[in-house]
Every structure is written in structure tokens, then in C-alpha cells.
Amino acid sequence: MRTKAQNGVVALAVTAVLVAVACGTQSGRAKPDLSVIWFSWPPCEALGKLTARYQDANVKVTCIPIGQWHDQIFTDFAARGGSDFPILDSQWIGEAVTGGHLVELTEWMKQNIEVSDYVPAALAAYGEYPPGSGRYWGVPAMADVQILFYRKDVFQRLNLQPPKTWTELLAHARRIKQSGIVPYGFVWFWCGSAACYDQIQTAWNQIAWSFGGELWDPKTYRVEGVLNSPENLRGLEFARELFKTGPETGGNWTFSEVVDAMCTGQAAMTIIWIGFGPNLTDPSKCKEAGNFAFAVPPGEKRHFLSLGGMGLHVSAYTKNRDAALAFVKWFESRDTQIEWVKLGGYSARISVLNSEEFRKAAPYNAVFAEAYQKVKDFWNLPEYSSMLTIQGEQLNLAVTGQKDPKAALDLIAREQQRILDKAYPKGPPK
Amino acid sequence: MAKTVDRWFADKIDGPVRTRFAWLNDRVLTHLFVWPSMGLLLFVTVFPLIWSLYLSFTSYSVIRDPDWTRARWVGLENYAGLLGSVDLWTRFQVSAAFVVPAVALEFVLGFGIALLLNREFRGRSLLSTLILIPMMLPPVVVGLFWRFLLQGDIGIVNYFLRDVLGLAEVPWLTDRRAALASLVLVDVWQWTPFVTLIAMAGLSAVPRYLYEAAEVDRASTWFRFRHITLPLVLPLLIIAILFRLMDAYRLFELAWVLTGGGPGEATKVLPIHLYKVAFGDFRTGVASAMGYLMLVVIVALANLLIRAIRRLRGEGYAP
């Protein structure tokens, strides 16, 4: 037999449990779940740490292998689902916009983003489509450019200065390899297979541009006669010579092999996306971390660097559009961007790039600010993927000495022209 | 004991329960179990087949067309385009250059190992189990660790060639011919045990008395192999070859992880090409047509081998 007091205690306990469950449910409702998808590299991990500080939603960051990055996001689009925030490479915006997979942010940005505080080129590259239209579909998530990491101890021993031209860089690399101080003068991500996405392409493009070449004519959509130009042929032959200063079997090297070679003292120079900086400068991850110095990659006749970085976009299939936009506003705020750069991210906000916090955040940030002035991008077309694949495969064969460079360039030009002619039979869209 | 249990159930279903479920006879139960399974099977296998067949006659792109009703009917255009494309035939050639040597080696090695294991010796069971381990590993894992082993400068295979044997190192994954050979090598490493397993099952089923009779007649070892072992095991071996052919023909994960289809397009087998068309370019209609062309080839191959099995079993076949 229970007493009245016992019954009262039981009733109170039941009430307390019900209230707790109700509150839990309410707070769960008040805090929506959002998700970001990006590829696996240090900034993706950093973004996970940053979003954990966001109070108004539970934001999950998924980092997938780079080879599946594009395909995963667009397969999600095809299924009319996926993450709330796909982080897209700049060249995919056209593909995503024409399919109706992104939320247009043009009007929203005017009210919620300090547009005037951004590097104009970054706003355009990471969010605008069609190019020059003034219509925005994303905001900068991560600015990026490749910078030169070199072994200052090796340079000192051989009395070398950071190279100002590609020709100088090749001479340094040859000299270092001959000296035997380290096995390889220069290593790079020469991988060009379908699984390597755009690695050799973004490496070689900046050589081609600096040697005076172009990938295509964006006004006429001509590739033949532009890509297989004498300037680009010289650029490709040059890349072949540069490849020889690294391991002969380095034709399938990706970012991770390059970082490993630098960190284990196998190589004296590489040019790599600044997002990989923490892997090279953290002594707990990299044996040679203390021996690296940094410089802007060289030019030749001209000085262009591949544009890296990506935009943060809102998926058209998000179930929490208001919460998603609130998160974008928070992420793009100056305070959050300062936190972002402290964690290893890169901002496109001018006030952040000029801030003391940014300059102190990483030893190579001053170099980044200079290098980012020289960026150049390439095709922003829905046909991007197939054009990229053919370019990577042929460049790799030429660089590794398995195909005549001219034959490789001719084939790329022919195939890319075929793709464009088929997609735009009436010429470039007006 | 059984009677007690039956009695217990009989007691339970006596009375109102028995009346309530009187309609649940064997026939109804059969339908209740079969149709949900059939429905699921139709939904996940037959429907996608019919749907992709329809899409193969359209210009549909799953990311560019807002919905499938906007897909334009193009008739046989996708098929004609593919059959007239040099690229597709090159991919068929690359696939054949991988499948034929890989399956041939797996057959020879697998059957050879099975013959060796088909005799009594100490540790036979342990050895048989160890040999089967590779085929139990996921292809992605196999691809990743072979990628490290075959890495040109730091891989352990080249270390042995260069530093232990004093030979020249081989660019296993970066030279066009070597990369294809590497793919064959790894596939053979992983799937030879499968042929061994099937062959061992066949060998264990060969009646002992046939060998004893041959021994009485002083038949040579070769004669016993040629006229007893091989004919009796061959139908099972052909089944093993059939499975391996189909599996090797649709190889994706291993090639994707080990070589990514490179260098250049040297190891870009058909499934990698299909993947890029379907999920890189998102040309869904073309990719569907390509899938059907692959299906036709594999069905033709399977048919040839099944006819061979029937012929061997003496069931006769009408050409």
C-alpha cells in the first residue's frame, strides 16, 4: 500500500520527466540541424571547429575525398536532397545554377552582407553566374591560392634566392637535385587521372598563363588554335623538365604525396594550395616544419596563379532556408571571419585580410595576400567536368614523357572543342 | 517432447483464436509471404532496368532537366553515338586487356593451387583458410594498400627490386603498360582464391574409385589429370570463370583507388568511363545506353559459357 506522500513523489517525478522531455523537444525544435559538405583537407576540419561555436543551429560538416567531391554533391542534387550548404568549386556554379539547385542570394546579400568589404574578384569567382551578370548564388567560403614552400636551409647552403621566374625555379630545382642535399628539387601533384579531379590542371595552367598562353577564348568559345598554341607547347615542355627534378615515378602524386615528400625531407620545393599549409608547418605533423620559408610562385612573361577557393552556397533543397541564411550571415560576419582565419581558413573580406589577426594567424599569410592579387580562373561552364578530365589525362602523359607534348595539346584542343561545339552549336550564349 | 509442444500449440489456438484466423490457410500465407518480396524485387531491380532502358532513348540529364518529363525522346541516337565513338571502343579494348589476362591467370593459378591443396598434408586446413583471405577484403582496402606497396619510390615492391635484388625499379602505377599489368596483378592476387575455392569443391567431388581404377591400369599422372580430373571439374571451373569474367568486366573500385583510370586513360576501364559519364558529366541518357551496351556484351559472354557447361554435361544444346 502506498502512502499519500509516496503517491505525491511519484506524481512529481512523472511531471518532472514529462516537462524535461517537452523542454528537450522544444529546444531540439528551436535548434535546427544544418549540414555542410566539402572535401577532406585541413580547412574542412577547421570549418568543423568553427561551426561548433554557432549557437543557433547544429551544423554538421562532412569532409569527403576530393575525387568524390563534385560527384557526391551533384548526385545529391539529382536526388533533390543532400547538404544544406554545398561548398562548390568556382567552375561548378554554372552547372549547379542551370539545374536550379542553388538559392539565388543577390537580393539577400544586399541586406545582409557587407559586399563592399570583399575582394571583388572573389565575390565574382565564388558566387556570380553568369559571369558579369551581377547575379549571385554563393558567398566566399574559403579564398585560396598556391604558394611556394621551400627549404630555407637548402637554399642557404646553395646560396639561392626565392625564384622570380619559372626558368629560375627550374634552374634551382636542377641544382638542388644535383647537389644531393635532398633527393628531389621540386615535387608537385602531377596526377591527372579521372580520380584526381583538377590537380595537374591547376598546376600546369599557371605555367601556361605565365608563358603567355590561354586555355580558350571565352568570347568565341574557341579552344583549337588557342590551347595548342606555341606558348602553351613551351609551357608543357617546361613542365616536363620540371617533372624530371622530382621522382621519376611521381606521375600519380597527389597533394598527400607532395606533403609527405616535403615533410620527410625528400624534396626542397613545392607549390601547393595554402589550405595545406597547416600540414606543412605543424611540427607535430611535419618533421621539416621549421625549415620552410614561403614565397609567391613565380611568373614568366606574365604572372598568373590558379584561383583556388570555393563558395558557400545554399541548396535549393534545404528544409531550413531561414536558418541556413542566418548561418551564412553569421559565417560571413567580420568577427566570425576573424575566427575562421585564426583556425586556418582564408577570408575574402578586405578588412580581415588587412587585419593584424590575419597576418599573425599563419607564417605565410603575408605571402597569401600578395599572391591572391595574381589569380586567374578558367571555364565556368556546365561542360566543365568532361573538359577537365580530358585535359588532366593528356597533360599527365605529356609531363611524364609518355606522349609528345604537341600531340597531347592537339588532342585536348580537339576534344574540348568538340564538347563545346556540341553543347553550343549556335556559338556562345548571348 | 514434440508431442508436448504440439499439444501446447493446439491448446493455444483452440477456441476463438482458431476461429478468428481460420482464413489464414496455407494458400493465403503463401501469398502473404511471396508478394511483398516480389514487390520489393520488382521495385529495386526490374523497375530500374525498365526505367533506365527508357532513359537510354532520351537526352535526359538528371541534374540539368528539372524532371524526367522534360527529357527529349531521341530514339537510337544515344546508341548510334556510342557505337560510332572511338572512345567507347577504346574503353572496351582496355577492359578486354584487363579482363582476359586477369581471368586467365586466376584460372591457371587458382586451379593449380587447388590441385596442390587437394592432397593430405599437415596444416592443409590452415593453409586453405589463409589463401582465402584476400578475397574477403573489400576492394577499396586492397586498392589502397597495393597503392602503397607499388608506389614508385617508397613502395616496398620497388625497394626489394632495387635495394635487395639490385634490379631496376618499375613505375608500377605511372607507366601506361605497367599500370595495366599492376591492375591485373592485384586482381589476380585478390581473386585467385575464389577460383581455388570452386576448384577445390569440384576436386573433392571426384570419386576416389576412378583414381584407384586408373592406378590399377597403371595410367600416368597426366592421363589421370587429363581424362579423370579435368572433365569432372571443368563444369565447375567454367562457372568460376563465368563469375570472374562478369566481376572483372564490371571492375570499378579497385581501378579507381589503385590507378584512378590513369596514367592518361591507360586503365580507364568501361565502368570508370561509365561512372564519369553518369556522375561526372551527368549525361544520364547516354550513360543508360552505355550500361545496356555493357549488359549485352556480358549476357552474350555468359550465354556462351553456359552453353559450354551444358555441352559438357551432355544435356545437349540447340545451336
Check if A316 contacts B (Cβ < 8 Å).
no
Question: What SS3 class is residue B267?
Answer: coil
B45: pLDDT strictly greater than 50: yes
Note the residue count of chain B: 319
User: For residues B298 and B305, what is the distance between their CA atoms, to the nearest angstrom?
Assistant: 11
- Whether residue A41 is contained in a domain is answered as yes
C-alpha torsion sign, points B135, B141, B145, B151: positive
In CATH, what number is assigned to the domain containing residue A184? 3.40.190.10
Last residue of some domain: A344, A372, A400?
A: A372
> Are the beta carbons of B268 and A74 separated by less than 8 Å?
no
Q: Euclidean distance between the first and final Cα of chain A, in Å?
A: 87
State pLDDT tens for residues B84-136: 988 899 999 999 999 999 999 999 999 999 999 998 889 998 999 999 999 99
Domains held by chain A: number: 2
Question: What SS3 class is residue B155?
Answer: coil
pLDDT at B318 (0 to 100): 35
Domain identity same for A300 and A320 = no
pTM of the model: 0.84
Domain identity same for A117 and A224 = no
pLDDT at A7 (0 to 100): 63
Contact A73, A86 (CB under 8 A): yes
pLDDT band at A404 (very low <50, low <70, confident <90, very high): very high
Domain identity same for A125 and A55 = yes
Note the residue count of chain A: 430
List C-alpha distances in Å: A382 to A20, A162, A386, B42, B132.
Answer: 51, 39, 9, 35, 46
Contacts of B176 in chain A (CB under 8 A): 397, 402
Instruction: For residue A349, give the nearest of A187, A122, A25 by alpha carbon.
Output: A122
| Surface-to-core class of residue A401, CB atoms within 10 Å of its CB (0-12 exposed, 13-18 middle, 19+ buried) | middle
Instruction: For residue A103, give the nearest of A381, A378, A322 by alpha carbon.
Output: A322
State pLDDT tens for residues A168-201: 999 999 999 999 999 999 999 999 998 888 999 9
Q: Can you give the residue range of the structural domain that contains A158? A: 145-307+379-423
Domain identity same for A130 and A271 = no
Contacts of A192 in chain B (CB under 8 A): 262-264
Instruction: For residue A412, give the nearest of A430, A429, A396, A424 by alpha carbon.
Output: A396
Last residue of some domain: A337, A354, A372?
A: A372
State pLDDT tens for residues B240-266: 999 999 999 999 999 999 999 989 999
A155: pLDDT strictly greater than 50: yes
- Whether residue A416 is contained in a domain is answered as yes
Domain identity same for A43 and A164 = no
Contacts of A78 in chain B (CB under 8 A): 62-63, 282
pLDDT at A199 (0 to 100): 95
Query: What percent of chain A clears pLDDT 90, i.e. is strictly above it?
Result: 78
Q: Which residues of A281-312 are buried (b: 16+ CB within 10 A; e: fewer)?
A: beeeebebbebbbbbbbbbbeebbbbbbbbbb
Q: Mean of the pLDDT values across residues A61-70?
A: 90
pLDDT at B237 (0 to 100): 92
Domain identity same for A156 and A132 = no
Q: Mean of the pLDDT values across residues A117-139?
A: 90
Which residue among B262, B272, B275 sits closest to A396, beta carbon to beta carbon? B262
Domain identity same for A256 and A390 = yes
Which residue among A67, A74, A100 sits closest to B282, beta carbon to beta carbon? A74
> Are the beta carbons of A252 and B262 separated by less than 8 Å?
yes
Site from A68, A252, A409 to mutate, B interface, most B CB atoms within 10 angstroms: A252
Domain identity same for A329 and A385 = no
pLDDT at B299 (0 to 100): 92
| Surface-to-core class of residue A253, CB atoms within 10 Å of its CB (0-12 exposed, 13-18 middle, 19+ buried) | buried
State pLDDT tens for residues A283-315: 999 999 999 999 999 999 999 999 999 999 999
Question: What SS3 class is residue A330?
Answer: helix
Domain identity same for A133 and A48 = yes
pLDDT at A28 (0 to 100): 47
List C-alpha distances in Å: B140 to A286, A337, B67, B255, B265.
Answer: 27, 38, 34, 9, 20
User: For residues B304 and A106, what is the distance between their CA atoms, to the nearest angstrom?
Assistant: 61
CA quadruple A365, A369, A370, A373: dihedral, nearest 10 = 150
- Whether residue A26 is contained in a domain is answered as no
Domain identity same for A257 and A267 = yes
State pLDDT tens for residues B207-243: 989 999 998 999 898 999 999 999 899 989 999 999 9
- Chain B residues 184-243 with a CB less than 8 Å from chain A: none
Q: ipTM, 2 decimals?
A: 0.80
Domain identity same for A157 and A266 = yes
B167: pLDDT strictly greater than 80: yes
User: For residues B157 and A337, what is the distance between their CA atoms, to the nearest angstrom?
Assistant: 47
pLDDT at A2 (0 to 100): 52
DSSP letters of A9-60?
HHHHHHHHHHHHHHHHHHHHHHS-EEEEEEESSHHHHHHHHHHTT-SSSEEE
Hey, what's the cell of A385? 567536368
Q: How far is B59 from chain A (nearest CA, A)?
A: 12
Q: Which residues of A365-378 are buried (b: 16+ CB within 10 A; e: fewer)?
A: bebbbebbebbbbb
Check if B290 contacts A (Cβ < 8 Å).
no
Domains of chain B: 2-55 (no CATH), 77-314 (1.10.3720.10)
Per-chain mean pLDDT for chain A = 91
Please, where are the H alpha helices in B2-138?
Answer: 2-13, 16-20, 26-41, 47-55, 77-83, 86-117, 124-136
A23: pLDDT strictly greater than 50: no
- Whether residue A205 is contained in a domain is answered as yes
pLDDT at B70 (0 to 100): 79
Cα A10 to chain centroid distance, Å, stands at 59
Domain identity same for A183 and A251 = yes
Contact A227, A408 (CB under 8 A): no
- Whether residue A225 is contained in a domain is answered as yes
User: For residues A251 and A199, what is the distance between their CA atoms, to the nearest angstrom?
Assistant: 11
> Are the beta carbons of A195 and B176 separated by less than 8 Å?
no
- Whether residue A8 is contained in a domain is answered as no
User: Worst-scoring range by mean pLDDT, A263-272, A310-319, B67-76, B254-263?
Assistant: B67-76
B153: pLDDT strictly greater than 90: no
- Of residues B316 and A296, the one with the higher pLDDT is A296
Q: How far is A218 from chain B (nearest CA, A)?
A: 20
- Chain B residues 59-118 with a CB less than 8 Å from chain A: 62-64, 66
Q: Which residue has the cell 525522346?
A: B73
| Surface-to-core class of residue A425, CB atoms within 10 Å of its CB (0-12 exposed, 13-18 middle, 19+ buried) | exposed
- Whether residue A119 is contained in a domain is answered as yes
Contact A279, A362 (CB under 8 A): no
Check if B26 contacts A (Cβ < 8 Å).
no
User: For residues A30 and A16, what is the distance between their CA atoms, to the nearest angstrom?
Assistant: 21
